[in-house]
Amino acid sequence: MSSYVIRGANILGETVSDIAIEDGVITAIGAGLEGDEVIDATGLVALPGLVDLHTHVREPGREDAETVLTGSKAAARGGFTCVHAMANTDPVADTAGVVEQVWRLGREGGYCDVQPVGAVTIGLGGERLAELGAMADSAAAVRVFSDDGKCVSDAVIMRRALEYVKAFDGVIAQHAQEPRLTEGAQMNEGPLSGELGLTGWPAVAEEAIIARDVLLAEHVGSRLHVCHLSTRGSVEIIRWAKGRGIDVTAEVTPHHLLLSDDLVRSYDPIYKVNPPLRSNDDVAAVREGLADGTIDIVATDHAPHPMEDKECEWSAAAFGMLGLETALSVVQQTMVDPGLLTWAEVAEKMSAKPAEIGRVSNQGRPLEVGEPANIVLVDPAATRVIDARDTASLSRNNPYAGLTLSGEVVATFLRGRPTVRDRALVEGVTV
């Protein structure tokens, strides 16, 4: 493996220095370092490789929308060196065999680490616990379990799951959606849903499940993670729970940081997502929650869909948006540029903390000598108009198409090996 020197990078936006890489680790940080290859990082910010706790790679079963390989390539282009692959595949990732298949496909691809998320219940059916212990003991060493796409709505099943994962320090990641309150829901419930004639998805459907689950987590003394939090009330509940000492973490997606339900006026299914785009007040609240630490991390909820599932009438369209390749730009535009987060705080919320929640010990590490060389270089001065066709994903359901976003990933290193250089994927990456 070649040795590299990243010359003149602005590490975490705080210190300009060279970074030397050899044999997959950072060997020196300082001035005037030498290596086989020198990468000019003047004006670029160096961050630890990003970690996504919430990615849909669709394989096995929906390889027409995405595969582990194409999802990994999209992740690398976005600066990610590790993603957690959600369990709503076909077959569902509810056994050791399926999670090991996904894990091995990620290793073979080589563009980022792919850590499977195991289902909480068999077939996401919400009735019987899946093989949580077997998945935890598998080669994939699963520590995050979620029925994402569906809520574990039965309180008894949720309690049992929270109790079960304590044995191996696992976490239940809940898709907070009370199903009886969201039957046929199409968008955020409010004046606009009435105006447009679309069935509303009320904020209370999210908030009621979060309130229930933080109390269950407290009762059994287990870890709870709340997926794609989207309302002001949800932020307030998480803030209350943390103040009470409950072991709960929460994520917000890039699209809930930037986009609001006003966009649904177009009836363009590109904006159909679950939970739905919320009001401008909710957008402000989740930004505030991320800035003050109530919300722990940003997670993409990257949800690719083939063209026929999105280019149709609103009611028939699938829920979901792409997110891996644009996440860092959205966070820069909504949080860094306005002064709500520093780059060091971005590293905490998009690298260190998601790795900690997912118990991935070799990712999310600081940029220090002796640590794995998982590094992303971003040009904060760049602006780019998003082109839905310019993607490594097999799908094109990009809600940012046509928008101008701040920042661009210039290079990504996975354990000292470049997966992206000069803003382009490195082809033929090997393990």
The verdict on whether residue 319 carries a ligand-binding annotation is yes
**Are the C-beta atoms of 163 and 137 separated by less than 8 Å?**
no
Judge whether 256 is annotated as a binding position.
no
Calculate the CA 413 to chain-centre distance: 19
Q: Is residue 398 a known part of a binding site?
A: no
Place of tokens 């860094």: 336
Does 309 carry a binding-site annotation?
Answer: no
Torsion sign over Cα 356, 106, 38, 331: negative
Which positions ≥6 away from 81 have C-beta within 8 Å?
49, 50, 51, 75, 112, 113, 363, 374, 376, 412, 413, 414, 415, 419
Q: Catalytic: which of 282, 301, 309, 379?
A: 301
Round to whole Å and give the CA distance between 1 and 23. Answer: 6
CA gap 245, 68 in Å, rounded? 37
Q: What is the DSSP secondary-structure string of 320-379?
A: -B--TTTHHHHHIIIIITTTSS-HHHHHIIIIIHHHHHTT-TTSS--S-TTSB--EEEEE
Of 173, 186, 230, whose CA–CA distance to 206 is shortest? 230
**Residue of 1, 6, 51, 45 lying closest to 24 (CA atoms):** 1
57 is in an annotated binding site: yes
Is 407 a known ligand-binding residue? no
Residue 90 known to be catalytic: no
Amino acid identity of residue 106, one-letter, is: G
Kindly state the tokens that stand for 292: 């003050």
Cβ(113)–Cβ(413) below 8 Å: no
Q: Is 274 marked as a binding-site residue?
A: yes
Report the alpha-carbon angle 124-130-132, nearest 5. 130
Asked if residue 301 belongs to a known ligand binding site, the reply is: yes
Numbered residues of the known binding site for substrate: 56-58, 88, 274, 305, 319-320
Q: Which residues are identified as catalytic?
A: 301
Binding-site residue positions for Zn(2+) = 54, 56, 148, 175, 228, 301
**Binding-site residues, please?**
54, 56-58, 88, 148, 175, 228, 274, 301, 305, 319-320
